[in-house]
Structure formats: C-alpha cells, structure tokens
C-alpha cells in the first residue's frame, strides 16, 4: 500500500449549481475528494462574508482532512480537476464560485513553486479558514510559524 499523507483542505462556495445550493456544492466536492483519498474529518459548515471582492453572495466554508497517497502537486491538480468538473469558472479574483478547494497544509511540508506554496500563504489571516480547521485539527502545527491552528485562530480573533 502506498504511503499515506494527511492534507488539510479549505472548501468554499457561494453560487448555486446543478448540485444545488452552496452547501450542496461542498458536499459534492467532499464526495469527489473521496476518489483521491480518504476524507478523515470534516468541519461544520460556516456562513461567512466575502473577502476582497465584496459585491457577491455570502460564502459557505468548511475544512477537511484528507489521507492521500498523492504528492502535494498531484493533489493540487486533482483539486483543479474537481473544480473544473463542478463548473468553476475563474473570471474575477476572489470572485463568486461554485467551488473552491485550497490546499492549506500537507504534513509538515514547506515548499514554494510557481504552482503551489505550502503552507497556504494566507491561511493565518483568514477566519473563514481557521475557524473550520480549528474544529477538526486544533493542534495541527503550521510548519513555517510553529503555531497550532488553535493558536493562530486565537491570535486572529484578537485583531
């Protein structure tokens, strides 16, 4: 059996699709993630305000832990394939979307390539990422900062 790795993933949606409302899109994405690994944990769904581009509907966000044999780049490409298959179209940066899958953490890997930066460079600044992730992996350590997800969440709440 190939070696398994744990990845932390952020999921988000704020558009309806053929799968239903945004929360249905998250459930469909989680179902599709099962094809690339074992979905080991899923947070509750959080309704959040848009960030950056504000003229759009509210988001539904969640986090998941995925056990997978894929490398980080293979996993990123699998995410893009899932997003594309579910109808994601990238028209506006931080704009509305049927589904968004972000690779936040992959074991203790720290990397920066043209395609992928790990840990996700903005995760420590985003409540909509840290709150769901803290539900399922509060003690998970950010390898670049040496802080747990719970510590990063508490630090962000003070701002």
d(CA 34, CA 112): 26
**Better-scored residue on pLDDT, 91 or 153:** 153
Residue pair 108/143 in contact by the 8 Å Cβ criterion: yes
DSSP 56: S
Map out the domains of the chain as residue ranges: 5-120
Tell me, what's the pLDDT at 159? 73
pLDDT reported for residue 131: 96
Question: Cis omega before residue 84 (within 30°)?
Answer: no
Mean pLDDT, residues 115-129? 94
Report CA-CA distances (Å) from 120 to 83, 94, 109, 130.
18, 15, 11, 12
Catalytic residues: 88, 97, 100, 102
* Residue 102: how many other CB atoms lie within 10 Å: 17
Class of domain 5-120: alpha beta
Cβ atoms within 10 Å, residue 83? 19
The pLDDT of residue 101:
97
With left for phi above 0 and alpha for psi between -120 and 50, is residue 6 left, alpha or beta?
Answer: beta
Reported as a single tens digit per residue, the pLDDT across 7-56 is 999 999 999 999 999 999 999 999 999 999 999 999 999 999 998 888 89
Query: Which pLDDT value is given to residue 1?
Result: 67
């Amino acid at each position: 059996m190939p070696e398994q790795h744990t990845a932390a993933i952020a999921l988000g949606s704020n558009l309806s699709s053929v799968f239903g409302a945004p929360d249905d899109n998250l459930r469909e994405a989680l179902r599709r993630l099962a094809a690339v690994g074992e979905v080991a944990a899923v947070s509750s769904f959080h309704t959040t305000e848009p960030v950056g581009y504000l003229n759009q509907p509210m988001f539904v966000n969640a986090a998941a832990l995925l056990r997978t044999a894929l490398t980080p780049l293979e996993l990123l490409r699998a995410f893009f394939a899932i997003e594309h298959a579910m109808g994601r179209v990238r028209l506006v940066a931080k704009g509305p979307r049927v589904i968004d899958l972000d690779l936040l953490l992959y074991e203790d890997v720290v990397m920066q390539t043209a395609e992928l930066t790990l840990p996700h460079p903005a995760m420590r600044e985003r409540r909509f990422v840290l709150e769901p992730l803290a539900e399922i992996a509060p003690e998970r350590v950010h390898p670049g900062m040496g802080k747990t997800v719970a510590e990063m969440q508490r630090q962000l709440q003070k701002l």
